[in-house]
Amino acid sequence: MTDLVARTPFADTRASDLRFSAGKALRRGRRALPTALAECPGPSAGGASCTLRILGASHQVVLDLGDCRWVETLSCGTDGEPVNFPNGSVQLIGDWAYACRMELDLAPDAAAMAAVSAGLDELQHTVRLGVRFAGDPHARTVIGASVRRDGATEVLTWETWHLYPQHGEIVHTVSTAQVLTNWEGAACPTH
């Protein structure tokens, strides 16, 4: 799949500017999602549908769970917690489990960054979304998502790459959402 080429430069400029948030909330009365540069439907698992979104040089993955919505966002801004790399978390929420791992790698030179960027064109995921940004052919954000089976359980997995060639930084995330029972009827917080 070919990346969208944005006319705009990075909204996020380096890994240290990133903030992370993930949470489940009611769909009604929620804050509107930010405008995306690109988005596409992702795979579905266990009754949950997924949308992949790229915001600036940031990503957002939205899982729709009936009356609830789970949103993972890694972006530059005031919302969320600063990211200390490497970082990982596992959360049990109602009848499902969510896990995320974030890593920061450094490319020692332009050739190494170009090699990482080229590798993103060969991702082995069911759905892939990418944006290249003005100013550098390797300034890009890419999301790949798939469903894999773990026994009888479907596990939704997505990976993201945020390339900041001006600083030689590569942020890579791997997230999973796994149905422990059926999504339907899972409690959703009211706050």
* Model pLDDT for residues 151-160, shown as the tens digit of each residue: 888 899 999 9
Q: Is the pLDDT of residue 19 over 50?
A: yes
Q: How many CB atoms lie within 10 A of CB 158?
A: 25
For residue 90, pLDDT over 60 is answered with: yes
Rounded to whole angstroms, the Cα distance separating 120 from 163 reads 10
CA atoms of 72 and 22, how far apart (whole Å): 4
Q: What is the mean pLDDT of residues 136-145?
A: 92
What is the arithmetic mean of pLDDT over 87-93? 74
DSSP state of 48: B
Q: What's the one-letter identity of residue 184?
A: E
Closest CA to 183 of 72, 91, 45, 47: 47
Task: State whether residue 127 is helix, strand or coil.
Answer: strand
